[in-house]
Amino acid sequence: MKHLLSTHDLSIDNIVAILDTADHMTEINARPVAKVPALRGRTVASVFFEDSTRTRLSFESAAKRLSADTMTFSAASSSVNKGESLRDTIETLSAMGVDAFVVRHKSSGVPAAITQWTGASVINAGDGWHQHPTQALLDTYTITRSFGLKDSLQGRSIAIVGDIKHSRVARSDIDVFTRLGAEVILVAPPTLLPHNIATWGVKTASSIDEVVGKVDVLYMLRMQFERMDSGVIPGLAEYSSRFALTPARARLLSPHALVMHPGPMNRGIEMVVDPSDLPGSRILQQVANGVSVRMAVLFTILGGGATATLQQGVDA
Amino acid sequence: MKHLLSTHDLSIDNIVAILDTADHMTEINARPVAKVPALRGRTVASVFFEDSTRTRLSFESAAKRLSADTMTFSAASSSVNKGESLRDTIETLSAMGVDAFVVRHKSSGVPAAITQWTGASVINAGDGWHQHPTQALLDTYTITRSFGLKDSLQGRSIAIVGDIKHSRVARSDIDVFTRLGAEVILVAPPTLLPHNIATWGVKTASSIDEVVGKVDVLYMLRMQFERMDSGVIPGLAEYSSRFALTPARARLLSPHALVMHPGPMNRGIEMVVDPSDLPGSRILQQVANGVSVRMAVLFTILGGGATATLQQGVDA
Amino acid sequence: MKHLLSTHDLSIDNIVAILDTADHMTEINARPVAKVPALRGRTVASVFFEDSTRTRLSFESAAKRLSADTMTFSAASSSVNKGESLRDTIETLSAMGVDAFVVRHKSSGVPAAITQWTGASVINAGDGWHQHPTQALLDTYTITRSFGLKDSLQGRSIAIVGDIKHSRVARSDIDVFTRLGAEVILVAPPTLLPHNIATWGVKTASSIDEVVGKVDVLYMLRMQFERMDSGVIPGLAEYSSRFALTPARARLLSPHALVMHPGPMNRGIEMVVDPSDLPGSRILQQVANGVSVRMAVLFTILGGGATATLQQGVDA
């Protein structure tokens, strides 16, 4: 595995292997000295053309726990402002000795384009509406491990609530969840569903109320404020009346059901309930698992993936 | 010791123990390889909601010399701009595996609030007018070591000059200096003294001239430009005429007297003299000691404080 | 060697020694674990008062490969905005324990001034129109190694094209290239040549066409957009007609000739050709060599320069 651009590039075996490796990483992260020398001498460059401190810090923490060096490139303070092309930027950083690029860009397809300009590995950290593959892996890791599962979501029902149409998280999650056998139900206004939804192998619902008592996982998406003004939804109050998780709705969840959110949450918009009041919330577990899963991805791509080498700690 | 929120949380024994540990750190910083593996595998996150490159770099240097990993979060480029709450930000970073937060915020009490949202340690790096405890520790370290002292400032006289009312440095310093037995004299216009000053166990003076020949330490505070317009002081010229350190005043200092300043200095405002002309200036020593003292604080909180382990160096 | 402020401070023997050390660094950078412990425990501070992500990341990568710690100070987010003087900033950072400052400033002479305020080493990473010595070293390294040379450019002809007058790269390159015996030809409009050019020991030409088939190296400078409006050149179209590298001109280059550029390139301005179409392009090799040469400079200054110690790798 050289790049991670899309969940579509991953077979079920690939996914299961990465999540198994993430188990090793979770064990490392619980050690008194939470660090291994596996990627010493390697350089991981975060190249974020769209700001996301949360995702960048998660990847950089993952890299550091594997003893890789990190290099942070943000578009705001770079030669991109001097008119340097994206290609020249990548070629320049690559020539400095980058082993893997972690790329966030507002346009779909940019991470794939970057693979043409460098011999280094490229990991998609979110491109437009397209894909966010490590988010799907960490979400799948969170669900499977919460339910004591390893390689299947057969028989599990997962509702994804919110703006499906513009969400790379939804696209990535749906692909992995359905291939692992889960039943996926999209809960959104028709204007926030993609046109070709019929081909996705999913069900739909028009309100959380239709699904809340039945599902194993309620996955809340972030409502983008900027969509509010765009005419695709009638208004905040009406949106919340059908698509927000409220305390009343939360009380209807099955006792074993999980509540998830990719963050950052909009409290008072889609999250009217305080997640710390929900025993089934796995929202902070998703963040913690994000570091383990990104360690697993970096190690699979740059370290050869032979997990026996992870037994060695750094000298403490 | 789990957190460091305020000097009020520290007993005199705590203070003396931290300064003793800082002596070990000063010795480490003088080694050819100025680094120890004491905090390898630990993560220290700087979370600065108010900009202070100086304080942030001091803490991050301290963390790196102890081989901790660092994570920098600045409010300007974060999800805080996407409407994420302070609590969600802290919970998210904490879930990534932070061992200690170093927090600067313009509002008093924020570091204390943060301890409710994380299992990690919290170190107050300055909150509003309230406290800046590591500044008080490094100032105390600088004064005691300059005078060959260890655990007392008995019999020493320290004048603090400037805007006491709005200064967290002054509040923190006064608490520690007085508890260690020093006589503290506040030199400020009445409008820049707090209302409850009578309860603080300090003296006051209305001009540097009243104290300059008598004190062991002249501690100059930074004059905040923004106060100048607020009507609390008559004007820059009048302020300087009574509260600035000029060459003429500096000549009246006792030969053994120290001149200190928390930085950054306003040359031409409170510092009309060039400190490099003053043999008694300890202003740069304060900066150097800041790294040692912050190493001691991090090591006390995260490393258990058993200084025997500091003998080991990193492989060089 | 304590500082690197200007190529004028370097004897030919100094230059040859640094480039020899860079050969060791190139070998290290090709290792599976591309890192050595040579500068463990040392701190390299990047102090950039003028933005240059490219140069900063190159120096920081070099420092990290030698296991030094790095500290990044950018003027935009610092006390410089609170009115702190340049001197106070440097003295403060120095007191924190910096071993070498890497300085970029828009004014000539600032790096030299900084040596007066710190006991640390100072490396000029570009000051005004004055000097950019590591660029000259990496350019010389690129040319000599491309031609299988070690310590001389005797008999080689190098054309430098563009805004010579305002270019620290040109000044630095010309000094080193001519002292190593190369023939240097400056290709520029008269308004973009310095007044004292007669004393520089170089030839001039008024169009690329006069030199393109004859030279061993065609070195293209970046055209500063802001000069376009200043009246010193007639206009973009006329400038490009004589000073841009076009595909037609590139076809006239000698088969062995190199094309170089310090970056970032202005595609469509001075670089109308795509450098990836040019077999003689060494533009990305310059970037890669930049890391090796900067490692050599840091190691010469901070590590004593005894290259035998570079055989040791970090534990992997």
Q: In angstroms, rounded to a whole number, what is the distance separating the alpha carbons of residues A185 and A160?
A: 6
Q: What was the pLDDT predicted at A309?
A: 83
Q: Does A43 sit within 8 Å of C33, measured CB to CB? A: no
Chains with 3 or more CB pairs under 8 A to chain B = A, C
Interchain pair A264, B82: CB under 8 A: yes
Does the beta carbon of B225 lie under 8 angstroms from any beta carbon of chain C? yes
Q: Would residue B118 count as lying in a domain?
A: yes
* Number of domains within chain A: 2
Same domain, A249 and A171: yes
Residue of chain C minimizing CA distance to A98: C61
Let me know whether B126 and B110 are in one domain.
Answer: yes
- In order along its 316 residues, chain C shows pLDDT tens digits of 999 999 999 999 999 999 999 999 999 999 999 999 999 999 999 999 988 999 999 999 999 999 999 999 987 655 555 556 899 999 999 999 999 999 999 999 999 999 999 999 999 999 999 999 999 999 999 999 999 999 999 999 999 999 999 999 999 999 999 999 999 999 999 999 999 999 999 999 999 999 999 999 999 999 876 666 666 677 778 888 999 999 999 999 999 999 999 999 999 899 999 999 999 999 999 999 999 999 999 999 999 878 888 988 886 5
Distance CA A34, CA A36 (A): 7
Percent of chain B with pLDDT over 90: 84
Same domain (yes/no): C166, C239: yes
Chain C neighbours among A 81-100 (CB < 8 Å)?
Answer: 82-85, 88, 91-97
B279 and B293 assigned to the same domain: no
Share of chain A above pLDDT 70, in %: 93
Answer whether residue C1 is part of any domain: no
User: Domain for residue A191, yes or no?
Assistant: yes
Residues 236-295 on A with a CB inside 8 Å of C are none
Q: Name the residue with tokens 């690329």.
A: C208
Q: B249: closest CA among B159, B165, B184?
A: B159
Strands B43-48 and B100-105: parallel
Element (H, E) at C250: helix C247-250
Are C314 and A82 inside 8 Å of each other by CB?
A: no
Question: C-alpha angle with apex C174: C173 to C176, nearest 5 degrees?
Answer: 65
Domain for residue A2, yes or no? no
For every residue of A92-147, DSSP letters joined together read HHHHTT-SEEEEEESSTTHHHHHTTS-SSEEEEEEETTTB-HHHHHHHHHHHHHHT
Asked if pLDDT for residue A304 goes beyond 90, the answer is no
Who's near B18: CB < 8 A, 6+ residues apart? B10, B137, B293, B296, B297, B300
Are C137 and C278 in the same domain?
A: yes
B114-127 pLDDT per residue, tens: 999 999 999 999 99
C250-255 long-range contacts (CB < 8 A, ≥24 apart) are C250/C277, C250/C278, C252/C212, C252/C213, C253/C212, C253/C213, C253/C218, C253/C278, C253/C280, C254/C213, C254/C214, C254/C215, C254/C216, C255/C280
Residues comprising chain B, all counted: 316
C127 and C23 part of one domain: yes
Does residue B257 contact residue B234 with C-beta atoms inside 8 Å? no
Q: Is residue C177 part of a domain?
A: yes
A285 dihedral zone (left: phi>0; alpha: psi -120 to 50; beta): alpha
Q: pLDDT by residue (tens digit) across B197-241?
A: 999 999 999 999 999 999 999 999 998 766 666 666 777 788 889
Catalytic residues of B: 54-55, 82, 104, 132
User: B156-192 pLDDT, tens per residue?
Assistant: 999 999 999 999 999 999 999 999 999 999 999 999 9
A138 and A278 part of one domain: yes
Report pLDDT for A316. Answer: 52
Query: How confident is the model over A157-176, as pLDDT tens digits?
Result: 999 999 999 999 999 999 99
Q: What's the mean pLDDT when you consider all of chain B?
A: 93
Residue A27: which residues within 8 A CB-CB, separation 6 or more? none
> Hey, what are A112's tokens?
């794939």
pLDDT tens for residues B236-277?
A: 788 889 999 999 999 999 999 999 999 999 998 999 999 999
The answer to the question of residue B101 being in a domain is yes
Alpha carbon distance C239, C226 (integer Å):
14
- Domain shared by A210 and A266, yes or no: yes
| pLDDT number for residue C83 | 58
Whether residues C137 and C253 share a domain: the answer is yes
Choosing from C104, C105, C168, C261, the catalytic residue is C104
The pLDDT value given to residue C78:
54
C123-144 pLDDT, tens digit each: 999 999 999 999 999 999 999 9
Is residue C87 annotated as a catalytic residue, yes or no? no
Range of the domain at B164: 133-286
Q: Chain B residue closest to A224 (CA)? A: B82
What's the pLDDT score for residue A42?
A: 97
Please report, for the domain that includes residue C222, its CATH number. 3.40.50.1370
Report the pLDDT value the prediction gives residue C80, as an integer from 0 to 100. Answer: 58
Same domain for A78 and A195: no
Of C40, C77, C95, Cβ closest to residue B316? C40
Q: What is the pLDDT of residue C272?
A: 95
Residue C264 falls inside a structural domain? yes
Q: Are residues A172 and A254 in the same domain?
A: yes
- Whether A18 maps to a domain, the answer reads yes
Asked if C138 and C273 sit in the same domain, the reply is yes
Task: Give one DSSP letter per residue of C273-306, joined into a string.
Answer: S-GGG-TTB-HHHHHHHHHHHHHHHHHHHHSTT-
Dump pLDDT digits (tens) for A19-48: 999 999 999 999 999 999 999 999 999 999
pLDDT the model gives residue C4: 98
Q: What's the whole-number mean pLDDT along residues B294-311?
A: 92
Q: List the single residue in C61, C266, C315 with the smallest CB-CB distance to A71.
A: C61
Residues of A annotated as catalytic are: 54-55, 82, 104, 132
